[in-house]
Structure formats: C-alpha cells, structure tokens
Amino acid sequence: MKRNKKERQQLLRSTIEENPFITDEELADHFSVSVQTIRLDRLELSIPELRERIKNVASKQFEDEVRSLPIEEVIGEIIDIELDQSALSIFDVKEDHVFKRNQIARGHHVFAQANSLAVAVINDELALTADATIRYHRPVKLDERVVAKAKVTGFDEGRTIVEVNSYVGQEQVFSGIFKMYRSNK
C-alpha cells in the first residue's frame, strides 16, 4: 500500500523506535520504497544510521551493567548481556580491519571481539583472560557482520569458563573457550 511521505515518515519513526536494530534494507522492503528513500527520510527526521542507533542503545543499556571494562573498550557493539550468563555483540568488518590485497579480516579483530565479550560478561571489577583455545572456521571478509555469542559454561580451577561462538549469517566463523580470571572467585 502506497503511503504519502508524512504517513511513511511517522510509521518509519515508530518502527525504528520499536526495533532500533532494523536495517535500511529491511525498512525499504517493509515500506515498499527504495533504500535511498529510507535514508532521506531518516535524514529529514534526524534518525541516525543503524550503526549509530546500535551504539546509542548499547551504551545506554549496558554502560551500567558491564563492570569488567568500559563499554567503549568492547570490540563490536554489545546488543544483549546477562552478567555471568550470556552476551551478544555485533562487529561490522570495515576497510581498516582487512588485508588490502584480499579483503579478508585480520584475525586479531575477530579474536578481539570474542575476547572482549568474554571479559564483558564477567560480573566483576577485574576480569582477565587466563587461557584461550580458539579456532577460526573460515575467513571473514570486508562488509560482513560478525555476531558473537558468549555463554558462561562453568568453572574450572577457580576460573570462569566462557564459550564464544561467532557467526556470519548462519555460518560459524570462529569458536573459542576462554578461561577467565576474576578477582572475586
């Protein structure tokens, strides 16, 4: 159904308020308009792009929750966290994260996202990686979005065990078991 600009923009605003993680492409499909139309509407309404919306939601929602490191030191954007249980972050691979000759992400960026998420999920003022067993399942490329999922799976010799699995779409690209030192355990 075709809507006039004013109606579309009102609906656009409420749709983004309900789901700040919705992409411009999803919005374009939803409203049956071009991505460019959505971007122009967002500009007119002073609604930031997805990356900024995620940052704003994450920093407001999690800055008081994450105790082990400042939220701005987490690699990627935390989009969900339950301390000492689980956490979720996203990381968009950009030009400065990849090798120029093949557009493949440098491994330390993928590792850093997983490691900082393992630190962030710990409910303690001090959390450090004591040991990590990691595996890269496939290279991550420019413009891919990596979703990392951390889960506290137990305790071993006074360390908290955090399992982190990272995906691009439904495909696993990284996995790691992190043994975390914490000051209060």
Q: Report pLDDT digits (tens) over 81-96.
A: 888 999 999 999 999 9
Q: How much is the pLDDT for 106? A: 96
Distance CA 126, CA 109 (A): 22
**Helix and strand tally (H, E) in the chain?**
5, 6
Over residues 141-152, the mean pLDDT reads 96
Average pLDDT, the chain: 88
Query: pLDDT class for 79, splitting at 50, 70, 90?
Result: confident
Query: pLDDT class for 1, splitting at 50, 70, 90?
Result: low
Distance CA 181, CA 165 (A): 20
Q: How much is the pLDDT for 72? A: 65
Which of 12, 48, 49, 46 is CA-nearest to residue 27?
12
CA dihedral 137, 75, 133, 101 (to 10 degrees): 40
Pick the more confident residue, 185 or 24: 24
Q: How much is the pLDDT for 65? A: 59
Q: Name all domains of the chain by residue range, CATH numbers in brackets.
A: 5-47 (1.10.10.10), 63-182 (3.10.129.10)
Over residues 177-182, the mean pLDDT reads 95
Distance CA 61, CA 35 (A): 28
